[in-house]
């Protein structure tokens, strides 16, 4: 019996270690900041001397901060419902090839929000929101957050409809299925992975959005992204609170992505 020879590739391992350090080290620092209750960086820069969950408790104890926390999630969930509601029918028309002429143009329209800098849109929306009374309001922020979410939702839903073979709908029709039966028995079950992927992408896009909230929502609506800026941007520097806020921004999206990938066995990537 021969000895099994292990093929260890040092260069690959070194490259992998370098990449892992680059990607993970700043995130590890964020986690350390969020759990540091005592950290004298001048004496001991590498790690806190005391750790705990004080910053997380603080977030729950302070009514203003806690309001930002739940407001962020409520906005994100509403954005999910709103964007899917708006784009499901257009995605059906494009994805199932019901419209051939002008399909490219409609697809470009769906992707248009991605082509325009968000700061430009914020400045353009400001006078419109002012006139319509949408400034500093919940519906106004939901519409604003739907802008960066729109291309992801539209593209994901279109891909979902493309993947459904048109013969299934025809076969159901031949067998006497009505329009509602086709929607509920064919499209919704087959589209479930795409709807879930679109939902998580819209959720992440909403949580991610800072500029439009700063222009159109602050001070009445202050999301976690705004709180991160308030604690980590400019002259005021509170890395511990910013770390705790960031964790609450990252965890839900990542958890939902992992759950969806496990359920649907498809990859969710915001590209």
Residues 228-247 that bind another protein (CB under 8 A): 228-229, 232-233, 239, 242-243, 246
**Cβ nearer to another protein, comparing 193 with 209:** 209
Q: Which of 3, 4, 5, 9 binds another protein (CB under 8 A)?
A: 9
Give the binding-site size for another protein (rule: CB under 8 A): 82
| Nearest-angstrom CA–CA distance, 35 and 48 | 9
Sign of CA dihedral 59, 62, 63, 64: negative
**Cβ nearer to another protein, comparing 109 with 171:** 109
Q: Residues for the chain: how many in total?
A: 271
Residues 104-143, one symbol each (x = binds another protein by CB under 8 A, - = not), give --x-xxxxxxxxxxxxxxxxxxxxx--------------x
Element (H, E) at 229: helix 224-232
Q: Which of residues 173-232 bind another protein (CB under 8 A)?
A: 204, 207-208, 210-211, 214-215, 225, 228-229, 232
Contact indicator for 248, 230 with CB cutoff of 8 Å: no
Q: Which region, judged by CB under 8 A, interacts with another protein, from 73-81, 92-100, 169-177, 181-189? A: 92-100
Contact indicator for 161, 95 with CB cutoff of 8 Å: yes
Q: Which region, judged by CB under 8 A, interacts with another protein, from 23-31, 50-58, 60-68, 158-166? A: 23-31
Q: Which of 53, 89, 188, 259 binds another protein (CB under 8 A)?
A: 89
Neighbours of 80 (CB within 10 A): 24
Q: Which of 1, 3, 6, 26 binds another protein (CB under 8 A)?
A: 26
> How near is the Cβ of 52 to another protein at its closest, in Å?
19
> How near is the Cβ of 191 to another protein at its closest, in Å?
15
Q: Which of 68, 78, 146, 194 binds another protein (CB under 8 A)?
A: 146
Is residue 23 part of the contact set for another protein (CB under 8 A)? yes
Query: For 85, which DSSP code?
Result: H
Contact indicator for 183, 250 with CB cutoff of 8 Å: no
| Nearest-angstrom CA–CA distance, 172 and 146 | 35
Contact indicator for 49, 42 with CB cutoff of 8 Å: no
> How near is the Cβ of 198 to another protein at its closest, in Å?
14
Element (H, E) at 38: strand 36-38
Q: Which region, judged by CB under 8 A, interacts with another protein, from 11-19, 60-68, 157-165, 169-177? A: 11-19
**Cβ nearer to another protein, comparing 187 with 229:** 229
Of 24, 34, 21, 23, give the one whose Cα is nearest residue 247. Answer: 34
Q: Under DSSP, is residue 25 helix (H, G, I), strand (E, B) or coil?
A: helix
């Amino acid at each position: 019996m021969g000895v099994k020879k292990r093929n260890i590739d040092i260069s690959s391992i070194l490259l992998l270690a370098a990449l892992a350090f680059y990607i993970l080290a700043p995130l590890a620092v964020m986690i350390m900041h969020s759990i540091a209750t005592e950290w004298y960086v001048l004496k001991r820069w590498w790690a806190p001397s005391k750790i705990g969950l004080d910053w997380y408790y603080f977030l729950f104890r302070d009514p203003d901060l806690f309001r930002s926390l739940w407001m962020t999630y409520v906005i994100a969930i509403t954005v999910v419902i709103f964007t899917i509601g708006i784009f499901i029918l257009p995605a059906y028309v494009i994805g199932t090839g019901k419209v051939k002429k002008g399909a490219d143009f409609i697809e470009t329209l769906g992707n248009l929000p991605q082509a325009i800098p968000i700061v430009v849109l914020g400045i353009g929306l400001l006078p419109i929101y002012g006139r319509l009374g949408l400034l500093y309001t919940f519906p106004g922020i939901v519409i604003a957050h739907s802008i960066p979410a729109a291309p992801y939702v539209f593209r994901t839903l279109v891909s979902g409809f493309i993947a459904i073979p048109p013969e299934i709908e025809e076969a159901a029709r031949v067998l006497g299925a009505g329009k509602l039966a086709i929607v509920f028995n064919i499209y919704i079950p087959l589209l479930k992975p795409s709807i879930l992927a679109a939902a998580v992408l819209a959720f992440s896009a909403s949580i991610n959005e800072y500029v439009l909230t700063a222009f159109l929502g602050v001070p009445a609506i202050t999301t976690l992204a705004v709180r991160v800026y308030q604690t980590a941007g400019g002259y005021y520097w509170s890395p511990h609170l910013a770390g705790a806020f960031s964790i609450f921004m990252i965890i839900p999206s990542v958890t939902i992505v992992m759950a969806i990938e496990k359920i649907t066995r498809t990859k969710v990537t915001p590209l």
